Chains A and B, each alone.
Chain A
Amino acid sequence: MYGMAMGIGLTELRRGVLGPCVLALLELRPRFGLELVRDLADAGGLLTSDGTVYPLLNRLRDAGLVTSQWQVAEGQRARRYYSITEAGKQRLAAFRDDWAQFSAAVGGVLDRRIPDTADAVQKGR
């Protein structure tokens, strides 16, 4: 039961950070779908399944944070390339600020340790 709750928590966490991660990758350069999937997979632990990237890309595009267009390179198949918009860049910058504070706060709480029992007993004497 506890393990399941933790699993759901991690899924929700991934869902929350995947959008900014996609924006961050697109900020570097436009990418096509499979390229994005592979880059995110290489980062490790961000994707539960490759397919979840596509609904997310559509949501980002509908929100005006990403655009897409077909491109045909010489000798290659036609690919839909996704690019970040100005609004996407602003949203990403805001997230970076929030994330720095948020991760510091979460880290601060998680790093607290229960004092060593033997040590505590000696100090008590």
Chain B
Amino acid sequence: MRETAVGHPLVLEYLRQLDAALKALPVKNSRELREQVTAHLDEAVSPSADDEAVANVLRRLGSPGELVAEAVSVTGKRPWPARLGWRAWALIAAAVILIAAVISYVAVIESTGPLIAQGTSAWWYPQDYNRAVITEPDRMTGMTETTVPIRPGQRQGFVIELFNFTGRTQTVLGTTEDFTAPGGGANAQIGVSIVNPYRRNDAVWSLHYALPASIPPNQTRALRVLWTSNHCLPTGGGSGIRQLTIRVRVGWITRTEVIQLFQGFFLEHGKGPCPEG
């Protein structure tokens, strides 16, 4: 024989359902009602009662849902933060920590400085390199310009050096989609040297270029831009580039960096005939 009615399986199941329903009530009211119902069952059910007698008492008591609904109509619901279980709170805490970590990470990456152009800045092909005319620094921008005649239908391009002064490796992925080469050049290609040109004092023209290519912290890589010049420029006209916009991945973030060239690369009207069409 059980010592108290509370040990009866039907009573235990009833109390289990009651505990679940009581989560809707404020904690104080919930404890109070639990205690009252337990005392009621302890008094109303004899320890030797059979299942039918126990079921009768429980039926008269009303379902846990009804009981709590009645209590809610009197006391109001438990405030929603208290209704959440520890699992829900653990999930919320984990989500908050994750979001904070992601935001911090993005903030750190976004605060990482861009690559900067320094060192070599020259035309890629000898026929351009040898004919380049360098102008005096512009009064407004302080920038010099190197100008060569356009060679319609032929490859032209330039090479610069990029220095990564930040503490994070930056991987150059390419130009942005709206990139336009000087002179409306087509088939533009960008490449980054896979080694530091200063490692063996190699000339930038002799290096191997690839894309994507990483630039480790405090290292320099050569960046080459080549295109096919396919426009004729009118006499006295010119077309050039003073800054280069590239896509760079830093950590898990891909961003756009604007590289200010310290020397603008310009094409001007050439002497040769323009190709037909």
Query: Do these two chains interact?
Result: yes
B17 / chain A contacts, CB cutoff of 8 Å: none
B61 touching A55 by the CB < 8 A rule?
no
Task: Give Cα A54 to B37, complex, Å.
Answer: 8
Minimum Cβ distance to chain B for residue A51 (Å): 4
Binds A, one of B38-46, B222-230, B258-266: B38-46
**Total contacts A to B, CB within 8 angstroms?**
67
Q: How many residues of A contact B (CB 8 A)?
A: 20
Chain A residue at smallest Cβ distance from B73: A55
Checking B33, B40, B44 against A55 with a beta-carbon cut-off of 8 angstroms, the contacting residue is: B33
Structural contact, A80 and B33, CB atoms closer than 8 A: no
Cross-chain contact A54 with B33 (CB below 8 angstroms): yes
Report whether over half of chain B's contact residues are helix, strand or loop; otherwise say mixed.
helix
**A 26-65 binary contact with B (CB < 8 Å = 1; else 0):** 0000001110010001000000111110111111001000
- Point out the residue from A32, A34, A55 that lies within 8 Å of B71, measured CB to CB: A55
Tell me whether B39 and A37 are in contact (CB under 8 A).
no
Judged by a CB distance under 8 angstroms, whether A79 is at the interface is yes
Given contacts A55-B33, A58-B29, A58-B32, contact A34 B40 (CB under 8 A): yes
List A contacts of B61 (CB < 8 A).
49-51
CB distance from A65 to the nearest CB of B (A): 13
Assess the B42–A51 pair: CB atoms within 8 A: no
Question: How far in angstroms is the closest Cβ of chain B from A78?
Answer: 9
Contacts of B60 in A (CB 8 A): 41, 49-50
Complex CA distance for A57 and B44, rounded to whole angstroms: 18
Question: CB distance B67 to A51 under 8 Å?
Answer: yes
Cα–Cα distance between A2 and B33 once the two chains are bound (Å):
34
Q: Are A58 and B62 touching (Cβ within 8 A)?
A: no
Query: In the complex, A98→B139 CA distance in Å?
Result: 98
Q: Are A80 and B70 in contact (CB under 8 A)?
A: no
| A59 and B43 alpha carbons, distance in the complex (Å) | 22
Picked from A48, A54, A59, the residue with its CB within 8 Å of the CB of B40 is: A54
Residues of A within 8 A of B203 (CB): none
Alpha-carbon distance between A34 and B66 when the two chains are bound, in angstroms: 18
| A123 within 8 A of partner (CB) | no
Interface size on B, residues (CB 8 A): 21
Cβ of B104 within 8 Å of any chain A Cβ, yes or no, is no
| Contact in complex: B36, A80 (CB < 8 Å) | yes
Do B62 and A34 touch (CB < 8 A)? no
Q: Which residue of A lies closest to B66 (CB)?
A: A49
> Chain A residues near B66 (CB, 8 Å)?
49, 51-52
Contact B67 A49 (CB under 8 A): yes
Q: Is B75 an interface residue (CB 8 A)?
A: yes
B residues within 8 A CB of A79? 39, 43
Interface contact B75-A34, CB-CB below 8 Å: no
Q: Does A77 contact B (CB under 8 A)?
A: yes
Task: List B residues at the A interface (Cβ < 8 Å).
Answer: 29, 32-33, 35-37, 39-40, 42-44, 60-62, 66-67, 70-71, 73-75
Beyond A49-B61, A58-B32, A59-B75: 7 further Cβ-contacts under 8 Å?
A32-B43, A41-B60, A49-B66, A52-B70, A55-B67, A80-B35, A80-B36
**Chain A residues with a Cβ under 8 A of chain B:** 32-34, 37, 41, 48-52, 54-59, 62, 77, 79-80
Give 28 CB contacts A-B under 8 Å.
Answer: A33-B40, A33-B43, A37-B40, A48-B62, A49-B60, A49-B62, A49-B66, A49-B67, A51-B67, A52-B62, A52-B66, A54-B33, A54-B36, A54-B40, A54-B67, A54-B71, A55-B70, A55-B73, A55-B75, A56-B70, A57-B36, A58-B29, A58-B33, A58-B36, A58-B74, A77-B43, A79-B39, A80-B39
